[in-house]
Amino acid sequence: MNPLLEKFNTKYTSAPFEEIKEEHYLPAFQELVKTSEKEIDEITNNPEKPTFENTIEAMAFSGEQLDRVSNIFFNLNSAETNDEIQKIAQEVSPLLTEFSSKISQNEKLFERIKSVYDQKDSLSLNEEQQTLLNETYKGFVRSGALLSEEDKKKLEKINMDLSIKSLQFGQNALASTNAYFKHITDKEELKGIPEAILQQYEEDAKEKDLEGYVITLQYPSYLPAMTYAENRELRKELALANGKKSFDGGEFDNQNLIKEIVKLRQEKAELLGYKNYADFVLEERMAQSPTKVFEFLNELLEKATPYAQKEIEELKSLAKADGIDDIQSYDHAFYAEKLRKQKFDIDDEELKPYFQLEKVQEAVFGLAGKLFGLEFKEINDVQKYHQDVKTYEITENGNYKSLLYADYHPRKGKRAGAWMTSYKNQYKQNGENSRPHISVVCNFTKPTKDTPSLLTFQEVTTLFHEFGHALHGVLADTQYPNLSGTSVKWDFVELPSQFLENYCYEPEFLETFAKHYQTGEILPAEKIEKLSESKSFMEGYQTLRQLGFGLLDMAYHSEVGALENKSVKEFEVEKTAATNLYPSNPETAASPSFSHIFQGGYSAGYYSYKWAEVLDADAFQYFKENGIFNPEIASKYKILLSSGGTKNPMELYKNFRGREPKVESLLKRAFG
């Protein structure tokens, strides 16, 4: 029996993780693709006249089990992968791409969709139904429905190649990250690194059957070394290893894949009638055009550069006092931490005891309760994919709202970083509101035998960020699964996550949970005040760094043929020159491990982090002016979150705020 092909007979029909074996995946995908094809055939060959219900709505609810199995498999490929799962992914991705192409290139089906679309003005549809109809029609056109047979086949081949190459890019980046570790036996080499971190390095060494200490390129291991190690040569070596990820000409090198992916995306855009891939992508974003994105990024660049340069000058002065005349990028975190301590008397390691993971989670749960009336209860009768995962039942007024999986610690089969994802979408059908299953995945330091998991302040904001995304999913209240939760325009998707981060800097909220894990003492008021003031610390540098990634991403996807006569490194240096505040090292490059744009969904969309910062600064200013827990504003914001992709995001924002967002809100928050 294959559990993936059965009805999930579990609490809340949650994924039966403990019953699933690797050999179940491929047969399940093969079978469910056939089942989904039959559903599509029934819609396509329905003898009745095409209507919204028998065509558009029927499609929205088709393939539910395939979607669920896909979510399970690809989420685990990020959070709990191994060689076998990665091998299966290489077989499954083309299968799904082919299935998707078959649907999008089904002429008879498109005729039915077009027939409904052409009479949309006389159908008396509500707003969500109109959105579904428009999105379905547009989706087909953008997938090549209006192309000739020959061009359809070309597009199918491009999509297939892209799915395989993007997957390979991510696997290379992960393998390259995992391939490196620094083994140290002399504790003196680790001078400056706090004891709690050294304990973690010892645990990592033991896992590899080594004496002494091990530092890896996983961020909870790498960042503390870069921030606190007095040993400059060690920082240099680690930074070099990190910058060489998939850029060393070895087995996991991604440089050729970048060129191939960029070329294929350009071919796809031209085939569909667009000048470049950025034009194709941005048609479906709030920003709408590359010109508007470049204007936005360059305006911020102009405003932020003087602040960033001033910040670097301060770091240079500190380094000079240590006899360093040629400050490099691998010195940045070390001297930024020194300066932060000097300016605000804030030391991440000194603060960590006040941010025990469990207490931070309680705080974010409590905030969701205060703003949106949600309650969280840990449950143990839901299957998990790893023992580290915790499961929570979320209710509102005693009614079940959502299931939450929390997966917080690094391990070998888990990619770096932090993300929110969904195992099941929310939708309404046959009078039932089918609720979502949401997951938050992070890579926080594991507890040791002596110490619980303690977070840096940056990790605190990371948890709030991902939980903001989670709330977008949890509060979803739409009719159709493909308009639910985070199914919104890409440059709108970061608003809920970045918005929630603001609370981490508010003294009246911080003092409710920033308590020493041993003594229960509240973080002293002056430290809370300093933390709040430190929000804009190094904001110029961070802004330029984000703008660099945004400009690089836009350059890859809007400059036709620009990579043909250049190496990836040359291209990267040229396109980020205006944002680079340190000399470039010829041995390192960011692009070969830039998974957001070459594996994830941020191609021609990385700018959206900054775009969403404008939205979140503007939205939070509204709360600040009226009380950060203001129930009326919170209820308006809840409507924005629960509406998913049912309306134009600017319209949703204006309904909440009463006007369009202003860039000045971000500039005021960042630079005063």
Q: What is the pLDDT of residues 595-613, one digit of tens each?
A: 999 998 899 999 998 998 9
Same domain, 220 and 282: no
Residue 135 annotated among the catalytic residues of the structure? no
Q: Do 544 and 635 belong together in one domain?
A: no
Indicate if 125 and 36 belong to the same structural domain: yes
What is the rounded CA–CA span in Å between residue 231 and residue 190? 7
- In this structure, the dihedral spanned by the alpha carbons of residues 228, 234, 237 and 241, taken in order and rounded to 10 degrees, is -50
Q: Which CATH number goes with the domain that contains 532?
A: 1.10.1370.40
Same domain, 292 and 239: no
Residues 666, 623 within the same domain: yes
Taking the C-alpha atoms of residue 286 and residue 649, their distance in angstroms, rounded to an integer, is 7
**Same domain as 621, residue 651:** yes
Nearest to 136 by CA among 66, 58, 33, 32: 58
Domain count of the chain? Answer: 4
Give the CA dihedral 403, 426, 70, 168, nearest 10 degrees: -90
Global pTM reads: 0.83
Q: Is residue 414 part of a domain?
A: no
Q: Tell me: the pLDDT tens digits for 371-428?
A: 999 999 999 999 999 999 999 999 999 999 999 999 999 998 998 889 999 999 999 9
Residue 328: inside a domain: yes
Residue 595, domain member (yes or no): yes
560 part of a folded domain: yes
In sequence order, what DSSP letters do the residues of 126-187 get, joined into one string? Answer: -HHHHHHHHHHHHHHHHTTTTS-HHHHHHHHHHHHHHHHHHHHHHHHHHHHHHH-EEEE--G
Any domain includes 407 = no
Side-chain half-sphere of 218: how many Cα atoms within 13 Å?
A: 23
**How is residue 406 written in tokens?**
């929390």
Q: Nearest-CA neighbor of 212 among 179, 182, 177?
A: 182
What is the C-alpha separation between 201 and 664, in angstroms, rounded? 44
> What is the overall mean pLDDT for the chain?
95
Domain span at 211: 180-243
Same domain? For 289 and 231 the reply is: no
Residue 523 and residue 510 in contact, taking contact as beta carbons nearer than 8 Å: yes
Query: Would you state the pLDDT for residue 158?
Result: 95
Q: pLDDT at position 583, please?
A: 94
Q: Report the CATH number at residue 56.
A: 1.20.1050.40
Domain C-terminal end among 608, 623, 644: 608
- Calculate mean pLDDT across residues 645-670: 92
Tens digit of pLDDT for each residue in 493-520?
A: 999 999 999 999 999 999 999 999 999 9
Q: How far, CA to CA in Å, does 416 sit from each of 69, 78, 224, 427?
A: 23, 9, 15, 31
Same domain, 332 and 192: no
Q: Is 304 inside any structural domain?
A: yes
Residues 35 and 80 placed together within one structural domain of the fold:
yes
Final residue of a domain: which of 555, 578, 608?
Answer: 608
Look at residue 401 and tell me if it is in a domain.
no
Do 530 and 567 belong to one domain? Answer: no
Residue 160, both tokens: 């297939």
Q: Calculate the alpha carbon distances from 166 to 45, 152, 178, 309, 337 in Å.
A: 35, 21, 19, 36, 36
- Say if residue 472 is in the same domain as residue 588: no
User: Does residue 430 sit within a domain?
Assistant: no
Q: Which of 466, 506, 539, 613 is catalytic?
A: 466
pLDDT digits (tens, 9 = 90+) for 234-288: 999 999 999 999 999 999 999 999 999 999 999 999 999 999 999 999 999 988 8
**15 and 96 part of one domain:** yes
285: CATH: 1.10.1370.10
Among 608, 633, 655, the domain boundary falls at: 608
